[in-house]
Amino acid sequence: MTPSDVKATLSFSDGSPQMDLPLYKGTIGPDVIDIRKLYAQTGKFTYDPGFLSTASCNSTITYIDGDKGELLYRGYPIEQLATNCDYLETCYLLLYGELPSPSQKEEFVNRVTNHTMVNEQMQFFLRGFRRDAHPMAVMTGLVGALSAFYHDSTDINNPEHREIAAIRLIAKMPTLVAMAYKYTIGQPYIYPKNDLSYAGNFMRMMFATPCEEYKPNDVLVRAMDRIFTLHADHEQNASTSTVRLCGSSGTNPFAAIAAGVACLWGPAHGGANEACLNMLNDIQQMGGVAKIGEFIKQVKDKNSNVKLMGFGHRVYKNYDPRAKLMRETCHEVLNELGLHDDPLFKLAMELEKIALEDEYFVARKLYPNVDFYSGIVQRAIGIPVPLFTAIFALARTVGWIAQLNEMIGDPEYKIGRPRQLFVGATPRNVTPIAQR
């Protein structure tokens, strides 16, 4: 971190001595004020629920400029990565900091491919779940359970363990998501086939059966690969911060990633693509395009608790750059499948148009996020709605690992331990139960 010549000065209106706070400059983005000595010197904490103004770490992985609608992985714009690189190249970039050379790519792809199978025992573990369990409930369990199967890669302080855990997680997530799906529909699991691409292999494990081979369609495989790339990392969002906080206790990488999966499940985060498609289905059932006005009215009503899912973002106050790319993919996939007249897609386009012109959304800088389109693409490919967030988890796994490994390698890393402003009861005595 580069210290700035500028210092922030904190003064108090009660006459307490003022304090100079160091300022650090990033390579891009806002400066940060270093408040680490604040408590020791003033006896005061800062208060920032939801981390609206707090940088929890320094990082070299992903940069977002929410006002410009810019997303960079290791300095490369997401638009260039999504059009020139595949997902595994992006994984390499996120993990090791540079894009791979052809030989590095080949070696990396081989390494990932050699770990696509999961311990055979995993399928018996899966049997403990109800068949109608939500795939994210199953995934939280399965990912956490990996630490019970791969003891030789659970020491977070050992770089070799971290490396093999990273490869195993990236390689096995598609297998686990496909197994979770096959289990819910009662079909036999399909083993990975290592001569296919990462995305092609995943789609085959999802859609092939022992009696019918699945021939991956190039357009759909590219769409799936793009979904993975666009979701690969997104700096210090809720699930990534969860992984960092969980990993900061020294727990094993599988447990930390399982915590990320659990966090991602929420509808304000990864669950939004599922919630968005359910919302479109609801509007469709209400009467479709003709009912958009009525729906938007509910969204604007503060007492209704209805949100336009797939709109808004904590950081992007401009068009989400991933949404633009996913919108493009959405057209490609629907054309390929002859679904351009798909009523849900038409409804989404109309909703987008109305919301982008509506004063409520304009004033609050609410634009479509990636989930607004990714659900439509996945549905067209044949992915069932409850599986959307599991696919997001699959794609985000590499980002979580890269962030976790960056934290462990940071000499300034400490166990995460936020403080609080206590507003509860002051000390009091327990009254014996008979007298209460």
Residues making contact with ligand ACO (CB under 6 A): 268-270, 272, 299, 307-314, 364, 366, 369-371
Q: In the complex, which residue's CB is closest to ligand ACO? A: 312
Alpha helix stretches (DSSP H) within 67-186: 78-84, 87-96, 102-113, 122-126, 135-149, 159-185
Residue 233 known to be catalytic: no
Q: How many degrees, rounded to 5, is the angle at CA 65 between CA 232 and CA 101?
A: 45
Work out how close the CB of 400 gets to ligand ACO at its nearest, in angstroms, rounded to a whole number: 14
Going by their DSSP bridges, the two strands 70-73 and 76-77 should be labelled as antiparallel
Cα 51 to the center of its chain, rounded Å: 17
CA separation for the pair 182, 207 (Å, rounded): 9
Q: Cβ closer to ligand ACO: 164 or 356?
A: 356
Going by their DSSP bridges, the two strands 32-33 and 19-25 should be labelled as antiparallel
Spot the catalytic one: 14, 313, 331, 340. Answer: 313
Q: Cβ closer to ligand ACO: 195 or 359?
A: 359
Work out how close the CB of 182 gets to ligand ACO at its nearest, in angstroms, rounded to a whole number: 26
Q: At what angle do helices 343-357 and 272-286 cross, to 10 degrees?
A: 100
The HSE-up count of residue 280 (CA atoms within 13 Å, CB side) is: 26
Q: Are 393 and 173 in contact (CB under 8 A)?
A: yes
Backbone angles phi, psi at 7, to 5 degrees: -120, 150
250's tokens: 């020294």
Q: Cβ closer to ligand ACO: 292 or 366?
A: 366
Residue 313 known to be catalytic: yes
As to burial, measured by CB atoms within 10 angstroms (0-12 exposed, 13-18 middle, 19+ buried), residue 284 is: middle
CA separation for the pair 310, 352 (Å, rounded): 10
Spot the catalytic one: 86, 225, 233, 371. Answer: 371
Q: Over the range 342-354, which residues count as b (16 or more CB within 10 Å of their CB) and which as e?
A: bebbebbeebbeb
Work out how close the CB of 269 gets to ligand ACO at its nearest, in angstroms, rounded to a whole number: 4
Work out how close the CB of 372 gets to ligand ACO at its nearest, in angstroms, rounded to a whole number: 7
Q: Cβ closer to ligand ACO: 115 or 313?
A: 313
Q: Cβ closer to ligand ACO: 161 or 231?
A: 231
Work out how close the CB of 391 gets to ligand ACO at its nearest, in angstroms, rounded to a whole number: 12
Q: Cβ closer to ligand ACO: 108 or 373?
A: 373
Kindly list the catalytic residues.
Answer: 313, 371
